[in-house]
Amino acid sequence: MRRHRSNLLAGLGDPALLGAALFIALLGIAMIWSAGQVDIPSIVAGAWRRQLAWLFISLAAFTVVVRVPMRWLEWATPWIYALAILLLLLVLLVGSGPNTRSWLRFAGFSFQPAELAKLATILMLARILGSKNDRPTGLFDLWKPVLVVVAPFLLVMAQPDLGSALIFIVILVSALFWAGIPLFTIFMLVSPGVSLILGFSAPVWGVWFVVVVIALYLRRPFMAEAVSVAIANLAAGALAAPLWNRLAPYQQRRLLVFLDPDVDPRGAGWHLIQSKVAIGSGGVTGQGFGQGPQKRLAFLPEQHTDFIFSVVGEELGLIGVLAFLTLLLWLLRRVLRIATDSGQGFGSLVVFCFFAVWFAHLVINVGMTVGLMPVTGLPLPLISYGGSFLLTTFVGLALVCRVAYET
């Protein structure tokens, strides 16, 4: 009997990883319950029940996926990717959501196809870059992985969902890095994206363009690559202003408020100002579980989703914040170790990309609650309310555990 239990746990690949994720998810549900304890009636009050239902669904999905051999999954990857693209097209036609067309609703549940698209993109990049015989070496050899990412990126941008779209860039860069693509080649690839961001300030963009030109001169890539990178940076800088005008008004306000919250203190800046007040009022020990005044008086918007970290800071203080961050960083460290131990290939790339995605979510979510990042609507892994993200997170954990089991 003891041997049977040991074999059962071994089949999970990394039982400690699953246990830690489940524990953090339950703590997240507790914080979502606390976020619903407000003095003004709100739909947030019942959000913890829906999150608990999604947790059961996520655990069921984990149980199924963790038993699928990675070679089967690698074979099925093109079909999963095709399904994700179809759902992204469908959500543009019939999707709904505040300010975006990001959600498909059915039977009382809402699903965000962008989350499935992140998973499918990770699998597809791992399939392409995991082959040692056909691994790209130059800039122009990267057309396949770039094309895999551009399709879902543009479809998600069309919703528009800027936060989720940025995660696809994280997936691409992390996959290329872990596949052993030279750092300078990655630099050449992403430099036009940096030009696009910096193009809103002509002096800053000018400095960046000079840096790009100097780097190209010193490293001396193929002439065609150097010319293409220079032209792409010029074009991206020129397109910055027109693309800014195409952003939804709420997205423009979020970026402006990041630079100066007082630009719109009762509108887009309200989130950031109240978040800082909530975290600051928590002090070292916090106001007490369920007792945060900013939250109870409904001054803190989106307290169960984007700004759940603010509730943690307000109610549990610095001690609670450090405890939550320690748990999440321990989990991420364990995922990174599995990626390292599994060597090269499909499985290792899948694990590292999930690590990069979850780490990016953690940094961006915490950063935006304290004013170090623009408000992008990215949830805090395993803690924020969001069934789609919780489901795909546990599917990702199942793949990580499967890779650990097969290593």
Domain residue spans of the chain: 14-406
Running DSSP on this structure, what letter comes out for residue 300?
Answer: S
Q: Per residue of the chain (407 residues), what is the pLDDT tens digit? A: 344 444 445 567 788 999 999 999 999 999 999 888 777 767 777 888 899 999 999 999 999 999 999 999 999 999 999 999 999 999 888 877 666 777 787 766 678 889 999 999 999 999 999 876 666 777 888 889 999 999 999 999 888 788 888 899 999 999 999 998 889 999 999 998 888 878 777 888 888 889 999 999 888 888 888 899 999 999 988 887 777 776 666 666 666 655 555 555 555 566 677 777 778 887 888 888 878 777 666 667 777 778 888 889 888 989 999 999 999 999 999 999 999 988 778 999 999 999 999 999 999 999 888 877 777 778 999 999 888 899 999 999 999 999 999 87
Q: Are 44 and 38 in contact (CB under 8 A)?
A: yes
Q: What span, in angstroms and rounded, lies between the C-alpha atoms of 205 and 10?
A: 53
DSSP 176-216: HHHTT--HHHHHHHHHHHHHHHHTTSHHHHHHHHHHHHHHH
Helix axis angle for 249-259 and 269-282, nearest 10°, is 50
Q: Which residue has the tokens 């989720």?
A: 164
Residue type, 269: G
Closest to 18 (Cα-Cα) out of 325, 406, 339, 400: 400
Q: What span, in angstroms and rounded, lies between the C-alpha atoms of 171 and 187?
A: 15
Rg over CA atoms, the chain = 22
Q: Are 363 and 26 in contact (CB under 8 A)?
A: no
Helices (H), 95-201: 113-129, 143-157, 162-178, 183-198
Which residue(s) pair with 240 in the sheet?
Answer: none
Q: What span, in angstroms and rounded, lies between the C-alpha atoms of 347 and 175?
A: 12
- Each residue of 256-283: b (16+ CB within 10 Å) or e? ebbeebeebeeebbbbbbbbbbbbebbe
| CA–CA–CA angle 362, 348, 189 (5° rounding) | 70
Look at residue 307 and give its three-state secondary structure.
coil
Task: Copy the structure tokens of residue 241.
Answer: 């202003």
In angstroms, the first-to-last Cα distance of the chain is: 25
Look at residue 105 and give its three-state secondary structure.
strand
- Each residue of 139-173: b (16+ CB within 10 Å) or e? beebeebeebbebbbebbbebbbbbbbbbbebbbb
